[in-house]
Amino acid sequence: MIQAVISQEGQRTPPKEGRPRPLVTMQSVSKRFSNGTTALSEMSLNIEKGEFISLLGPSGCGKSTALRIIAGLGDPTSGSIDWPSSRIGANGKPQGDIGFVFQEPTLMPWKRVFDNVYLPLRLAGRPKSAVREDIEAALETVDLQDFAKAYPRELSGGMKMRVSIARALVTKPKLLLMDEPFAALDEITRQKLNDDVLKLWRNTGITIVFVTHSVFESAYLSNRIVVMKARPGRVHSEFPLLTSVERNTHYRTSEDYRQACEKVSRALLEAMGSETDGHS
């Protein structure tokens, strides 16, 4: 059963003494673009090692912007972002500890699956001969070991997205960021990939932050849901979810799942109601 809301308006209880440091910390992060749009306002969030967090909110609330700032693909206008246990390069960004799966697979159509997965390692200057086993292992993780020589045009939409996930995993990141990766897929494929990602999370212990518009997807996947307010985005509320119950077809029809969806839906409606609170 879903537990109680543990925070409101982005305020988090400080970590207890002796607890491991968060993997990533966002502290009062705001983002204002050159066109005057404020995407994020004073957003604070701790990402703990081994969590599966879903960022849930209405369109335009800054979920993807937050994800890109966490990844080091953009700088906040104000506030701070910290990766306390990562290797930080001269540019102040984490090195090699983050994998990113975008909304579209963004595969190179002229390259075979194997070479698409090899891309981040090639960009890092690593010869293919030295990382062949890593590429094969990443493909096996997403059950595409038999499609290494295929071209993207020969794959289904779900298979293309799995190639994208393998490409994000091949560098062996600590943190996997996923920006609505299954939104354009049919429901059957989406549910199958939800199960695949959960299996990946359980088997590897990787930390995942997953952006979604779907209450049902967030309640199925996560062990913590972060509900964001409408633009400018900031944390409205957070829900920890029990993970002892196996997530499968039976769970989708269970009372625990129904209650989780109901409570998260209510929080999302409250967050969307804040569109008229003077910040938009």
| Cβ atoms 28, 69 nearer than 8 A | no
| Cβ atoms 143, 169 nearer than 8 A | no
CATH topology of domain 22-91+192-200+217-280: Rossmann fold (3.40.50)
- Separation of first and last alpha carbons in the chain: 34
Looking at residue 72, its pLDDT comes to: 86
Residue type, 96: G
Looking at residue 7, its pLDDT comes to: 37
How many Cβ atoms from other residues are within 10 Å of residue 85's Cβ? 14
Nearest to 67 by CA among 101, 27, 33, 21: 101
Domain ranges of the chain: 22-91+192-200+217-280
Pairwise CA distance, residues 256 & 84, whole Å: 35
Looking at residue 279, its pLDDT comes to: 40
Q: Are strands 235-240 and 7-8 parallel, antiparallel or unpaired?
A: antiparallel
3-state SS class at 26: strand
**DSSP run (H or E) holding 236:** strand 235-240
Looking at residue 215, its pLDDT comes to: 93
- Look-up of token digits 């967050």: 271
Tokens representing 205? Answer: 């212990």
How many Cβ atoms from other residues are within 10 Å of residue 83's Cβ? 22
3-state SS class at 135: helix
Looking at residue 90, its pLDDT comes to: 61
Tokens representing 258? Answer: 């129904």
Please give the C-alpha separations between residue 82 and each of 21, 117, 171, 202, in angstroms, as whole numbers. Answer: 11, 28, 21, 25
Nearest to 22 by CA among 6, 45, 55: 45
Q: Give residue 214's region: left, alpha or beta (phi > 0; psi -120 to 50).
A: beta
- Look-up of token digits 């077809």: 249
Please give the C-alpha separations between residue 152 and each of 7, 115, 140, 180, 249, in angstroms, as whole numbers. Answer: 43, 11, 17, 20, 30
Instruction: Report, as ranges of residue numbers, the positions in the chain whose pLDDT lies below 70.
Output: 1-19, 85-96, 243-244, 274-280
